[in-house]
């Protein structure tokens, strides 16, 4: 799957978005990511390299990954825009592409399992196994008859209606509707948390100002070279299935730009684990020869997660980071194999 840290790295280094011939990504990898010469050589030779980036507090996880691909960067742009491909990925239990979030038929499969529904029965402010705002917790307690034989169906109908209304509101009003998770003792204000993740990238407006500003100001200030798409997924993360709603933003650079494409996958909601998540990928041109195009695919995965503090949390964090790093290497390899096979 697919951050803000990369934006800072791109912004502050020798991978400018403006038109400059022959960029030096190796210098970027060495000076800003801290990769060794062996790691840089591995990337150039088509091997995936993944690394944990510094975080400012235990709840943050930032991962960096890169690989060199022998095909045109346009292939990656086509690949990420094909959201239906996610259905075939391991761990994806259900998927829906929501161009019109008001159509409830598009939410079929966006549903809690029976275990989650049972835990919802005892949900209360500050103590709930599902991430959700106070308004949703209160609506559940008010409107659901937990003794009804069709209680699972009623809960999921309410879930789909709420998700539909939420995404429609987001498309009109942007980050201000992301709300507050009140499932734990300390509430999480999602929009503020998201902005905090992006505060990692103070230098970015000097390089990709339109793209950066649109991530914060959506739906306002949309650049002409950026497209939006939305999907929901039921994904197997860790111990239980997680429902997610994701906004995908794709930016096309000009033909002479070093960064040919930039893609952001912005999590709008998750039922478990991830309070905030932003995954970014950049296609950095690697060859000026139109007959033998190549590019560096640079990716980061960033998230803010609950339960990563204290002794137990530090253990959970290490396991999560190790698994995510391994997964990122696999993702990079699979993308390279797919794109080079289809070129």
User: Looking at residue 220, what is its pLDDT?
Assistant: 94
User: Looking at residue 21, what is its pLDDT?
Assistant: 35
Residues of the chain with pLDDT under 70: 1-24, 99, 101-105, 180-191, 193-194, 197-207, 238, 305-320, 343
Q: What angle do CA 26, 214, 189 make, to 5 degrees?
A: 100
Homologous superfamily of the 4-341 domain (CATH): START domain (3.30.530.20)
Is residue 206 classed as helix, strand or coil in its secondary structure? helix
Contact 261, 76 (CB under 8 A): yes
CA distance 287 to 342: 19
All residues at 6 or more sequence positions from 215 whose CB lies less than 8 Å from its CB, including other chains: 198, 249, 264, 266, 278
Cα 51 → chain centroid:
17
Contact 218, 251 (CB under 8 A): no
Give me the residue spans of the domains in the chain.
4-341
């Amino acid at each position: 799957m697919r951050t803000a840290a990369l934006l800072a790295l791109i912004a502050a280094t020798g991978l400018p978005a403006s038109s400059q011939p022959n960029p030096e990504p190796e210098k970027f990898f060495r000076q800003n990511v801290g990769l060794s010469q062996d790691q840089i050589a591995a990337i150039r030779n088509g091997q995936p390299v993944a690394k944990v980036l510094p975080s400012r507090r235990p709840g943050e996880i930032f991962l960096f990954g890169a690989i060199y691909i022998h095909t045109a960067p346009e292939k990656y742009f086509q690949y990420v825009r094909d959201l239906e491909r996610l259905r075939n990925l391991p761990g994806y239990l259900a998927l829906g592409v929501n161009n019109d979030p008001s159509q409830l038929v598009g939410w079929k499969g966006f549903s809690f399992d029976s275990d989650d529904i049972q835990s919802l029965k005892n949900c209360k402010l500050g103590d709930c196994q599902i991430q959700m705002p106070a308004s949703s917790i209160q609506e559940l307690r008010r409107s659901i008859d937990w003794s009804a034989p069709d209680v699972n169906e009623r809960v999921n109908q309410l879930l789909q209606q709420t998700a539909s209304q939420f995404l429609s509101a987001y498309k009109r009003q942007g980050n201000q509707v992301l709300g507050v998770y009140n499932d734990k003792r300390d509430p999480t204000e999602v929009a503020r948390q998201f902005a905090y993740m992006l505060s990692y990238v103070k230098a970015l407006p000097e390089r990709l100002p339109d793209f950066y500003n649109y991530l914060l100001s959506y739906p306002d200030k949309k650049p002409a070279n950026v497209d939006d798409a939305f999907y929901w997924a039921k994904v197997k993360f860790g111990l239980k299935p997680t429902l997610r709603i994701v906004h995908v933003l794709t930016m096309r650079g000009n033909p002479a730009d070093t960064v040919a494409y930039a893609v952001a996958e912005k999590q709008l909601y998750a039922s478990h684990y991830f309070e905030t998540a932003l995954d970014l990928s950049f296609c950095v041109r690697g060859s000026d020869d139109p007959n033998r195009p190549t590019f560096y695919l640079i990716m980061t995965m960033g998230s803010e997660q609950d339960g990563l503090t204290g002794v137990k949390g530090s253990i959970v964090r290490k396991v999560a980071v190790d698994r995510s790093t391994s997964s990122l290497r696999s993702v990079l390899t699979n993308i390279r194999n797919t794109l080079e096979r289809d070129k």
